[in-house]
Chains A and B, each alone.
Chain A
Amino acid sequence: MTRIERSPGRWVTTLLMVLLLSAMAAVGIGTAAEEEKSPIEGLTRAEALELGERMYRDGLLPNGEPMRAFVQQDIEVEGTMFSCESCHVRSGMGSIEGTVITLPTCGSWLYKPLQGAEMKAESQARVPSRLDPPPFRPAYTDESLARVIRRGKDPNDRVLNYVMPRYLVGGTDLDILVYYLKNLSSQWSPGVDDTTIRFATVVGPGVNDVDRTAMLGALEAHIADHNSQTRHEERRAKGGPFYKEEKYAPYRRYSLSVWELEGATDTWPQQLEAYYGKEPVFALIGGITSDGWAPIHEFCERNQLPSLFPITDFPVISDSNWYTLYFSKGYYQEGDTAARFLRRAKGIDADVPVVQVHRGDRVGLFLASGFRDARQSMSLPPAVEVELASETEVDAAFWKKLAAANPGAVLVVWLGAGDLESLEVLAAADPRPPMVLASSTQMGDAVTSLPTTIRGFTFLTKPDSFPEEEVRSRLATESWLKAKGLPTTNFEIQAKMYFLGWTLAPMVKMMRDDFYRDYFFDIVDMMRDQYYAIAVFPRLSFGPGQRYASKGCYIVQLTGGEEPKLEKRSNWVVH
């Protein structure tokens, strides 16, 4: 059964209650947690776990020095090259890459014996004794865990493959790492109980009804689809064959709450905390705002709450944040690609001056920021920046003056179609700009109004696929929408939510009953490249820590004639 909870508009009252409770809890937890002891002498539990996490994730000893180890018997490595997390992943649940399987190293797996399969005791009793395999590994103890880290011998005295580093670590440092592993993924994450996994989706203020309905309609249809199997799945979970219990028993129905945000973005964190305090969810799925995603992104980082595929063109750009997986870098990606395309353009040297023009609105700032950062990362000289006030009129005189002040410069113009109509004057400029770069997304449907005389040297960013190249995936999405009785209202949003739902169920299933949020994203990270179910990008790809699934953006040109078309001038990914 789908549970949709809409905001009653009484969030202020709830918020006050939650804040009060949080304040009370903070005092309690503050003293209790800080004083909670760990088995490590002189360290509280929180301190020991923090130091252990640094060893596990960053490969750094408590004194800040890199951990040292040997792989393949005679190759010395430092923790700054790679760490435990590199192979055993963030959750400690292990990974599979090609023929190399890395087993779990988290407390919930290490400290129990490994049998042939995971079964309840009563099911185990049903297995004929002749089929009952002996445990292939008894439970680790603190001592045997320390030994396998140092010497690579498991509790059965088996020697692990030398791909597993033998760490030169001992004493308190080793105790800290063992303590961390013992506690890693040792308890289910919030948002899951015996019957249900709870999800939420965030809707920001000011989102128009069409977009909101497009997003919610597709998500709700996926949730309903999943839950329609509940009776069958629960029967299989209870009475299925014992050898498939591991697969069937973890079945959970889904619930979806809608977290409606109101007011200014600086009030969103409190609203989100209030919702979360009232109902901790396992993950956020989808979601849509018209004011960017940063407050929600930061909320998710703080609470270690996965946020999967929000609808936004304004993601937070970070190469270290973990908990939000975006479809793409949005407008930032367009700016980035423009800079890389320009660098590779034949006949335009790196020292040719570049002028970047944009307004101070969110779209202009994101595009400009992507372009600026990419040039910096490529060690190219910065562009001359021209940020226009919202009231500045952009006409022929403006362009003439700009070209005269920057003769021979490449113009990067992150402006709407209305501002670009007067660009026509540049066709006759002497010298004419060698190249003009703009965003087809920012120009929207009016892109075809780009003056004919400048199309030959004007290049546009296009961060999505060509519909005619995605016939099969578009058909799949349209057929699904039709089957669910959902009219096509905003195809881009609906296609994205179709993809989300298409991947959500198998990812949850792969967790089996290891319901850890970090494992959820570890599984996403190991997903293969996706082509079939995504209709608005040529493909999506994933990898450990990669948080923008679409990596590309075309550079296109508008053809001439009565019915101009966009034609590719680059590959999907430009380095």
Chain B
Amino acid sequence: MRSETRAVTSGICALLMMVAAIAAPADGPRFTRREVTVEVPDVTLIDQYGREVNFRQEMLGDRPVFVDFIFATCTTICPVLSAGYISIQRKLGAERKKVLLVSITIDPEHDGPEELRKYLERYGAKSGWDFFTGTREDIDLVMRAFDAFIPDKMSHRPLTLIHAPGRDHWVEIDGFAGSKDLMKELELALGDEDKEGERHDQD
């Protein structure tokens, strides 16, 4: 009976955790935010048009960049992350090119340029949101660099990383941010960018 008790108790705990996962309180924290250091790997990836892109150059350009990890046939996590991206583009309107939104597939074998393009079309993405694929080895390198490596796409994490020009760190959002949260991060990044511009002007 003792083992039965343990089993039932652990079953109840598991169920309660499951309920917690789905029915988290509305006002509870929905993501964690921290600053991280990222050594962006020097790899060549492929964008939604089949063009080869130098990933490091893309990341360390002259505008803020958001990076997330998704895949074209993903179930739960990617739609919410992508909805966040599209909300940024909608809010910025004509100024959307102030920021570069980048999605990187974690299913590079299935997601070729055509799948990436179809995915972006489905969300009504405008220029300024790019979706990259590559060899499995290169995608693994990128995931490891962002501390986002997972051995299999079904172990996916909802991560978004944000970088502002001139910053020596990235901001990692682990979880699901709302539109306001994302815009706040963008404002912070743009603020950093302005400061960086001023510093260069003084130089």
Contact = CB atoms under 8 A, between A and B. Distances in A.
Contacts of B79: 71, 77, 81-82, 86-87
B117 to A, nearest CB: 9
Contacts of A303: none
B94 interface: no
B52 to A, nearest CB: 8
Contacts of A378: 50, 113
Of the candidates A154, A163, A242, A541, the one having the most CB atoms from chain B within 10 angstroms of its own CB is: A163
A136 B19 contact: yes
A545 B73 contact: yes
The secondary structure that dominates the A interface is loop
Contact of B11 (A72, A73, A243, A573): A243
A38 interface: no
Contacts of A572: 109
Interface stretch (A98-106, A196-204, A420-428, A470-478): A98-106
A528 B75 contact: no
Contacts of A404: none
Interface string B104-117: 00011110111000
A161 B12 CA distance: 20
A551 B135 CA distance: 12
Contacts, number: 165
A429 interface: no
Contact of B75 (A73, A75, A102): A102
B15 interface: yes
Contacts of B93: none
Given A72-B84, A573-B109, A95 B23 contact: no
Contacts of B134: 575
Interface string A180-211: 00000000000000000000000000000000
Nearest to A115: B15
A29 to B, nearest CB: 34
A74 B178 contact: yes
B92 interface: no
Contacts of B9: 131
A544 interface: yes
A571 B140 CA distance: 15
Nearest to B82: A81
Interface in A130-167: 131, 133, 136-137, 154, 158-164
B73 A161 contact: no
Contacts of A544: 73-75
B33 interface: no
A535 B25 CA distance: 48
Contacts of A96: 154
Contacts of B123: 81
Q: Determine the interface band of chain A, counting residues with CB < 8 A from chain B.
A: 35 or more
A543 interface: yes
Contacts of A101: 18, 21-22
Interface in B10-64: 11-12, 15-16, 18-19, 21-26, 30, 46, 50
A107 B20 CA distance: 22
A161 B112 CA distance: 32
Contact of A551 (B110, B113, B114, B152): B110
Nearest to A159: B26
A94 to B, nearest CB: 9
A83 B122 CA distance: 11
B173 to A, nearest CB: 12
B97 to A, nearest CB: 21
Contacts of A77: 79, 83, 86
Contacts of B107: 541, 543
A384 interface: no
B158 interface: yes
A536 to B, nearest CB: 17
A87 B12 CA distance: 24
Nearest to A83: B79
Nearest to A85: B75
B77 interface: yes
Contacts of A17: none
Given A72-B83, A159-B25, A98 B180 contact: no
Contacts of B112: 340, 575
Most buried by A among B23, B46, B50, B76: B76
B133 interface: yes
Contacts of A340: 112
A97 interface: yes
A461 to B, nearest CB: 16
A571 B138 CA distance: 12
A163 B76 contact: yes
Contact of B73 (A76, A127, A543): A543
B75 A72 contact: no
A573 B75 contact: no
Contact of B176 (A162, A244, A546): A162
A117 B75 contact: no
A541 B73 CA distance: 12
A89 interface: yes
Interface in A506-561: 526-529, 541, 543-546, 551-552
A199 B8 CA distance: 35
Given A101-B21, A136-B19, A161-B22, A75 B76 contact: no
B203 to A, nearest CB: 40
A377 interface: yes
Given A74-B179, A81-B124, A116 B157 contact: no
Of A74, A137, A161, most buried by chain B (CB within 10 Å of CB) is A161
A228 interface: no
Contact of A573 (B7, B8, B24, B108): B108
B71 A102 contact: no
Contacts of B150: 98
Nearest to A78: B124
B80 to A, nearest CB: 5
B86 A162 contact: no
A229 interface: no
Counting from the closest, the 3 A-B pairs by CB-CB distance are A82-B79, A72-B178, A551-B109
17 contacts: A71-B83, A72-B84, A72-B178, A72-B179, A74-B87, A81-B86, A87-B75, A87-B76, A97-B154, A116-B11, A158-B19, A243-B8, A378-B50, A543-B74, A545-B73, A551-B110, A552-B109
Interface of B: 1, 4-5, 7-9, 11-12, 15-16, 18-19, 21-26, 30, 46, 50, 71, 73-77, 79-80, 82-84, 86-87, 107-110, 112-114, 122-124, 133-136, 150, 152-158, 176-180
